[in-house]
Amino acid sequence: MKLKIDVTNVAFMVTGAPEAKEYDGKQQTEKDTGALKWVTQLLALEKGENGQGEIIRVVTAGEMPKLAQLQPVTPVDLEAIPWNQNGKSGVAYRAAAIKPQSAK
């Protein structure tokens, strides 16, 4: 099950440079398109006085995102994908893209 995330009240900042998503030393690709997969570490911070933050790792496919550490960004079509395997569980995050926020 994939769950769409409403990012309206969340600010995102890059905390780690995009890296190749690898398995057994080989970069993973999309099954249907062959596009390379990338993982970008982001700080997701709830907006508001009592907002809390969490570090998430977001997977994208295609060209490597050109993002700098501490850069404010917006994930496009962010999804949470719960998983459970061999007694372990968690949430994986995927986005269609991670866009830099335009300067104001």
pLDDT in tens, 68-84: 999 999 999 999 999 99
Which amino acid does the sequence have at 66?
K
- Confidence at residue 50, expressed as pLDDT on a 0 to 100 scale: 83
12-55 tens-digit pLDDT = 999 988 999 999 999 999 999 999 999 999 999 998 888 899 99
Radius of gyration of the chain (CA): 14
pLDDT at 104 over 90: no
Number of residues assigned to the chain? 104
The number of distinct structural domains making up the chain is 1
- Tell me which of 8 and 1 has the higher pLDDT: 8
Q: Which tokens hold the place of 36?
A: 């390379």
CA-closest candidate to residue 51, choices 92, 13, 89:
13
Whole-number pLDDT of residue 103: 52
Domain range for 25: 3-100
Report the CATH number at residue 90: 2.40.50.140
